Amino acid sequence: MATLKVSSSVPSPPEDAEQLKSAFDGWGTNEDLIISILIRQTYHESFGEDLLKSLEKELTSDFERAILLWTPEPGEHDALLVNEATKRLTSSNQVVMEVACTRTSTQLLHARQAYHARFKKSIEEDVAHHTTGDFKKLLVSLVSSYRYEGEEVNMTLAKQEAKLIHEKIKDKHYNDEDIIRILSTRRKAQINATFNRYQDNHGEEILKSLEEGDEDDKFLGLLRSTIQCLTRPELYFVDALRSAINKTGTDEGALTRIVTTRAEIDLKVIGQEYQRRNSIPLEKAITKDTRGDYEKMLIALLGEDDA
């Protein structure tokens, strides 16, 4: 389960579970308690009830969503996110891609295992069933991936594949099987080397080359996001957060997903990059558009008090 830094004087897990039980029995003013003592296993052992189910019954709205995404193990919340995304329109393809490309191979494997356990089928099966055409080819390949995580780079291969990718982009063959194969099978260090060679050879970043395509091409947009997630995930999340916060009516779904899933991974780095690019601290941007316990939860995950 996800953890936050807490004070040195912390009740024992059984004591925390007892307080949670009391909070559920007399709901109304104990939301702050939930933020600080989420302990699923001990709660179940003490009361024979699943903490997530108790939370789902008692919490509401955006605060509930933040709790329900942050509380489980990462593989479990990733499985939930992908399952929800497969039931929506194609705009949720972005969420499937995000999970597949910003997790390590082990994290993605855990998500697939959690998906098996919870939904009695595979991520690949559901993604294939709910997508079509080029989206299906790309997304199924990405969620099926198990990349080698080493930093070794084959510069000869990088040169060859940079040339191959440039030819496909020049001909606007964005859905080419070789591009999908490279993005879904190569280690991230190798992909970075390939795109660095691409820039050296052609004088512009690959994302800049892809901007020359049809801006209304949703597959091309997904391809650009895939490349950004694989090479500079912090920039992808900065863009996604800015879009979520600056929309007419904050996109709480995207905001909650990013903060809860990156809280113990790279949210500090994302926050620093957000401030550098937007001239406002991420926590201030969030507090301008959120309220109440939901705001408290997000700020706690941002680690504002640790600054």
38 close to 27: Cβ distance less than 8 angstroms: no
CA dist 257 and 265 (Å) reads 13
Is 132 assigned a ligand-binding role in the annotation?
no
Whether 271 and 241 share a structural domain: yes
Give the 3-state DSSP-derived string for 121-162, with helices as H, strands as E and coil as C: CCHHHHHHHHCCHHHHHHHHHHHCCCCCCCCCCCHHHHHHHH
What distances in angstroms separate CA 189 from CA 107, 153, 177, 196, 234, one per listed residue?
A: 17, 6, 21, 11, 16
86 belongs to a structural domain: yes
Domain edge (last residue) among 116, 143, 170: 143
What CATH number is attached to the domain comprising 212?
Answer: 1.10.220.10
64 belongs to a structural domain: no
265 belongs to a structural domain: yes
Give residue 71's pLDDT. 83
| Phi-psi label, residue 14: left if phi above 0, alpha if psi -120 to 50, beta otherwise | alpha
Domain edge (last residue) among 214, 231, 248: 231
Max Cα–Cα distance, the chain, nearest Å: 66
231 close to 192: Cβ distance less than 8 angstroms: yes
The domain tally of the chain equals 4
Return the percent helix, strand and coil in the chain, to nearest 5: 75, 0, 25
Which amino acid appears at position 163 of this protein?
Answer: K
At 44, give phi and psi (nearest 5°): -65, -40
Is 221 assigned a ligand-binding role in the annotation?
no
Is 208 assigned a ligand-binding role in the annotation?
no
Is 295 assigned a ligand-binding role in the annotation?
yes
Give residue 306's pLDDT. 46
Whether 226 and 237 share a structural domain: no
149: tokens are: 């995580």
66 belongs to a structural domain: no
Match 């955006």 to its residue by tokens: 62
Buried b / exposed e along 16-43 (16+ C-beta atoms within 10 A): bbbbbeebbeeeeeebeebbebbbbebb
Whether 97 and 124 share a structural domain: yes
68 close to 55: Cβ distance less than 8 angstroms: yes
Is 247 assigned a ligand-binding role in the annotation?
yes
Give residue 289's pLDDT. 87
Long-range contact set of residues 18-27: C-beta below 8 Å, sequence gap at least 24: 18/46, 20/51, 20/54, 21/46, 21/47, 23/58, 24/54, 24/57, 24/58, 27/58
CA dist 38 and 98 (Å) reads 26
Domain edge (last residue) among 58, 82, 111: 58
Whether 251 and 207 share a structural domain: no
pTM above threshold 0.85: no
**Domain range spanning residue 180?**
155-231
Q: Which of 306, 305, 242 is nearest to 273 (CA)?
A: 242
CA atoms within 13 A on the CB side of 244: 20
- Which stretches of the chain score pLDDT less than 70? 1-17, 19-45, 47, 50-60, 89-91, 304-307
210 close to 220: Cβ distance less than 8 angstroms: yes
DSSP conformational letter for 306: G
Whether 180 and 191 share a structural domain: yes
